[in-house]
Amino acid sequence: MNLQKRLATKILKAGYGRVKIQPGKEKEAKEAITSFDVKGLIKKKIIFKIHKKGVSRVRANKTRKQKQKGRKKGKGSRKGSPNARQDFKRTWISKVRSQRELLKRLRQNKKITKDSYKMLYLKSKGGFFRSTGHLKLFMEENNLFIKK
């Protein structure tokens, strides 16, 4: 039986432990001496190989679906710094774009003067404001809105 299994491992390209002989057909398998004989037994499915055991993706897929829905993303599930999740440049771009958009709207609607627009634009460019809310608060505190 060792010979037949050894020949089958080369033919099936599997390890010795994965090659199996059908129970009750051992006599027929013992008669096979050459690799040609073993190939015949493989075709008859008397000698076969067991599939490799893989790692199941079921749990991983389930977690991924939950994360797509927005679950499992709390503070306890996060690894790495906030910068690792979204880099400084991306946060900076989104922050400055929203501030510039707000300033542009205010200038178009004539809520602020050209001079105050320029001053606020340069301040936002320099990273003075944390957010659009902070920008609005600064404008209210310094009376930069045009009163009609």
Please check whether residue 69 lies inside any domain of the structure: no
Q: What is the CB neighbour count within 10 angstroms for residue 18? A: 16
Q: How far is Cα 38 from Cα 33, in angstroms, rounded to an integer?
A: 7
pLDDT-derived band at 148, boundaries 50, 70, 90: low
Whether 19 is covered by a domain: the verdict is yes
Number of H helices, E strands in the chain: 8, 2
In-domain check, residue 6: yes
- Give me the residue label for tokens 């503070």: 75
Q: With respect to residue 30, please indicate whether it lies within any of the assigned structural domains.
A: yes
80 part of a folded domain: no
Confidence grade of residue 57 (pLDDT, cut at 50, 70, 90): very high
| Within a domain: 39 | yes
Average pLDDT over residues 66-77: 94
Q: What is the CATH number of the domain that holds 20?
A: 1.10.1650.10
Average pLDDT of the segment spanning 97-122: 96
Asked if residues 9 and 16 have their Cβ atoms less than 8 Å apart, the reply is yes
- Domains: count for the chain: 2
Containing domain of residue 14, as a range? Answer: 2-49
Distance of CA 97 to the CA centre of its chain: 27
Residue at 77 is within a domain: no
pLDDT in tens, 1-54: 889 999 999 999 999 999 999 999 999 999 999 999 999 999 999 999 999 989
Distances (CA, A) of 14 to 4, 20, 29, 43, 145: 13, 11, 18, 16, 78
Could you tell me the two tokens for 32?
Answer: 């096979």
Mean pLDDT, residues 78-83: 88
- From 28-32, 66-70, 101-105, 136-140, the region with the lowest mean pLDDT: 28-32
Identify the residue with better confidence: 1 or 118. Answer: 118
Query: Is 66 inside any structural domain?
Result: no
Mean pLDDT of the chain: 94
